[in-house]
Amino acid sequence: MTPDEVQGFLTMGTRTGKLAIVRRDGRPHVTPIWFAVDGDDVVFMTHHTSSKAHAIRRDRRVAMVVDQETPPYAFVLIEGEVAVSEEPDELLHWATAIGGRYMGAERAADYGRRNGVPGELLVRLRPRKIIAKSGIAD
């Protein structure tokens, strides 16, 4: 996939990301996340008490995959490091954008007000490596 195709794949509809981190005891962990794309970065939110928040305080390295679950199947895997922001304007902006993506434009402002608040973290994943495979079953 070209960079534009990767971006189109990531932002299609309400596809979720599956974010992998490592727990304190060394076990892997993976959860679905709602995310947006900002230039080359992936941005998502998490509460500061979540497993994800604890994990990225210990180690900034994460991996995220987005896939197409129907034939011929495809996926984009992003490996990289995260940076965290608690800046209120940025929280509100991205909580609104992400709410709009996953719940529809008419509910975006509600989600922004609810999630763009202190205690939430804006996490920015800067890709170091992107692996994209399409037509896996062809």
Distances (CA, A) of 14 to 26, 40, 52, 105, 133: 31, 19, 21, 12, 20
Q: What share of residues in the chain are helix, strand, coil (percent, to 5)?
A: 30, 45, 25
**How many residues form the binding site for a copy of itself (CB under 8 A)?**
33
Least separation, in Å, of the C-beta of 66 and a copy of itself? Answer: 9
Stretch that binds a copy of itself, among 17-25, 37-45, 86-94, 113-121 (CB under 8 A): 17-25
Only segment of 1-9, 29-37, 42-50, 112-120 that touches a copy of itself (CB under 8 A): 29-37
Q: Encoding tokens for residue 124? A: 């920015």
Binding mask 59-78 for a copy of itself (x = CB under 8 A): x-xxxxx-x-xxx-x-x-x-
| Beta strand pairing call for 41-47 and 35-38 | antiparallel
| Beta-carbon count within 10 A of 95 CB | 25
Residue 119 structure tokens? 């205690």
Stretch that binds a copy of itself, among 39-47, 54-62, 87-95, 118-126 (CB under 8 A): 54-62
Q: Which residue in this structure is represented by tokens 């076990």?
A: 27
Q: Which of 20, 92, 122, 123 touches a copy of itself by CB under 8 A?
A: 20
- Per CB under 8 A, does 39 bind a copy of itself? no
Rounded CA gap, 30 and 62, in Å?
10
Q: Is 97 in the site for a copy of itself (CB under 8 A)?
A: no
Binding positions for a copy of itself, rule: CB under 8 A: 13-16, 18-22, 26-32, 59, 61-65, 67, 69-71, 73, 75, 77, 79, 102-103, 137
